[in-house]
Amino acid sequence: MAGFDFDAARRWARFDPGRTLARRDDAQLPFADEDDLAGSSLLLDTCVYIDRMQGRAPPVVSGLVATRQVNHSTVALQELVHAVGALRPDDARSATAISAIERQIKAMPDHRLFEPDAEVLGRAALLAGMMCRLQGYDGDARLKALQDCVLFLQALRLGLTVLTANVREFDILLQLVPTGRVLFYRKG
């Protein structure tokens, strides 16, 4: 794979703390507050779109989105479009949800929508495999870990900060790759 150093990946994959990594106390994590409105550009996790559509995003998220440069990943686009396919056509609520998702996707400017490259995808697959091994993930959690790792490493490569409410997985990612940048929020 062009741009992917398999030997370095093999060395990195040997990492084993000898235990499952635990979620750290909130005081040790970067949670957003009103003092964080200015700062680095953001890459939005899929939960941000969903929380905003469902009215569960706290005011600080609206403030961050209004004041910082917001970027989008094809990972989030993929997860949102997947939801459209998963919604039941015979459920009356589906049309409303699909319309909301369509508005979100159409609001993503092309110049702010980024695709992960081969290096990010390769490293994310490795990191997700490590997470699954260390944390004992199986089934759907494995795919979710892969998507989270792609988003996390994509943000790192682009010099962006991931905005997410997914504290559990992204805290583990920060422990494995401390150079990453994440800003957490609590759902309203």
| Residues 45-79 pLDDT 10s | 999 999 999 999 999 999 999 999 999 999 999 99
Q: Is 154 helix (H, G, I), strand (E, B) or coil?
A: helix
- From the DSSP assignment, how many helices (H) and strands (E) are in the chain? 8, 5
> C-alpha angle with apex 54: 80 to 114, nearest 5 degrees?
30
Q: Report the number of distinct structural domains present in the chain.
A: 1
Tell me whether strands 182-184 and 42-44 are parallel, antiparallel or unpaired.
Answer: unpaired
Report if residue 93 sits inside a domain.
no
Q: Quick check: is 106 in a domain?
A: no
Q: Kindly state whether residue 95 falls inside one of the protein's structural domains.
A: no
Distance in angstroms (rounded) separating the CA atoms of residues 46 and 72: 9
Average pLDDT in the 153-161 region?
97
Mean pLDDT across 137-155: 93
In a domain, 21, yes or no: no
Task: Tell me, yes or no, whether 120 lies in a domain.
Answer: yes
The confidence band for 13, taking pLDDT boundaries of 50, 70 and 90, is low
117 domain-assigned: yes
Cβ distance 45 to 149 under 8 Å?
A: no
Tokens of 113: 């929508």
pLDDT band at 18 (very low <50, low <70, confident <90, very high): low
* Residue 152: CATH number of its domain: 3.40.50.1010
CB 154 within 8 A of CB 44: no
The amino acid sitting at 176 is L
Q: What is the span of the domain harbouring residue 144?
A: 6-13+28-73+111-184
Q: Is 139 left (phi over 0), alpha (psi -120 to 50) or beta?
A: left
Asked if residue 144 belongs to a domain, the reply is yes
Of the pLDDT bands very low, low, confident and very high (cuts 50, 70, 90), residue 182 is very high
User: One-letter amino acid identity for 19?
Assistant: R
Mean pLDDT of 115-130: 92
Q: Is residue 91 part of a domain?
A: no
